Structure 1
Amino acid sequence: MASSKERILDSFENILINDGERAATMEAIAAAADVSKGGLLYHFPSKEALVDALGERLLTLSAVDRELMTADPEGPARYYVRTSVYEDSALDRALVAMARLAQQGHPKAQQNFAQIQALWLGALESSLGSRSVARAVKLMGDGLYYDAAFFAGSGANQEFGNEMEQLLELVDLLQEPRRRGA
């Protein structure tokens, strides 16, 4: 069973994802986590403390993802595109929750997003040797993620099937000049 602190943070994340920042009051978070408001305040004395903890969670999960990306035998570019499908993982949930805050102009959320975007883009650029090619691969993956995260119930992803392999072939084409030493 998760600790009270983790349950509180999970509840904050869930409320942000499902209902948005306005619904994420301290009272609603405490009720969702099944703790008293005093218990919530013991672990997180303010909403900013919750945002900080969610940001730390996101940065930690992103750093682990970057390690997996750079160690992937098919390479970081193929990894990034292949894994850019929303699967309701811990990383996905933290990303979407933080995106809700960033969309409202929350400065810490925007800083966290800038950090992880630089982290992923840096790994791609290091592997691909070109910022432009890295950005193209990243935008391909980001588009897939956006499509999967925001249109999951529409049936659009059900048609995806064999397209992933075709997209990965495009990634390979983008990498071709580097492989030839150009």
Structure 2
Amino acid sequence: MARNPVARDAVLDAFEELLIDVGERAATLDAVAKRAGVSKGGLLYHFPNKEALIAAVLERLDRLAVEDLALMAEAAEGAAAYFIRSSLWSDSPMDRSFVAATRLAEVAHEEARRRFAAIQQQWLDLIAADVGTAMAKAVLYMGDGLYFNAMWESGTTGDGRGRHGDIEELLAAVERLRD
């Protein structure tokens, strides 16, 4: 019998939410089952252990990163501007996946760290193709700083509306860096 993808996604979403809200240690199998509204047996049907859940979260991150990198590569405004504009919390699947995986990296989960490094390198490569290698890290750090400061101020429920002026200032700085 085929596994129900809706139930599987609900379990994975619940695990992601718990990672974001309470961290890796509190995201137990029992807590995930409760949050997903399934029995523990239902959870175990889709994910036999916590490592399988972690692997699925990281696979989701990879898939979403590939989609985002494609948008970044195709952005008419350029990869640097796309990166900065997309560096505010929007409660997108990519945002949730990114923060959930960050919570894994915080507890020294080596595979999460490896995947973050790979994604970051791909971002740097695209940004470097747009603004040059010397400026790529500056743009990356601008976007990261914007993202983390907005998260610090409003958390995962904020929309970053107060940061749109910051985005325009950073984009103007990127244009000056291009010269």
TM-score of the pair, normalised by structure 1: 0.89
Secondary structure of 2:58's partner? Answer: helix
C-alpha distance in 1 between matches for 2:166 and 2:148: 16
Percent of pairs identical after alignment?
46
Tell me the residue number matched to 1:26. 29
> 1:16-95 maps to which residues of 2 (within 5 A)?
16-95=19-98
C-alpha distance in 2 between matches for 1:52 and 1:20: 16
> 1:33-182 maps to which residues of 2 (within 5 A)?
33-130=36-133, 132-152=134-154, 157=160, 159-176=162-179
* Structure 1 moving runs of 4+ over 4 Å: none
Q: Which runs of 5+ in 2 are unaligned?
A: none
Kindly indicate whether residue 28 of structure 2 is the aligned counterpart of residue 10 of structure 1.
no
TM-score of the pair, normalised by structure 2: 0.91
Cα displacement (A) at 1:159: 4.2
Q: Which runs of 5+ in 1 are unaligned?
A: 177-182
| Cα shift readout 1:37-94 (whole Å, capped 9, x = no counterpart) | 1111111111111111000111111111111111111100111111100111111101
| Cα shift readout 1:100-131 (whole Å, capped 9, x = no counterpart) | 1100101111111111111111111122232x
Equivalent residues of 2:128, 2:136 under 8 A apart: yes
C-alpha distance in 2 between matches for 1:95 and 1:115: 13
Equivalent residues of 2:150, 2:163 under 8 A apart: no
Give the total of aligned pairs: 175
Aligned-pair RMSD on alpha carbons? 2.0
Q: Name the amino acid aligned to 1:7.
A: A
C-alpha distance in 2 between matches for 1:158 and 1:123: 27
| Cα shift readout 1:120-165 (whole Å, capped 9, x = no counterpart) | 11111122232x2101100000100111122216x9x554342321
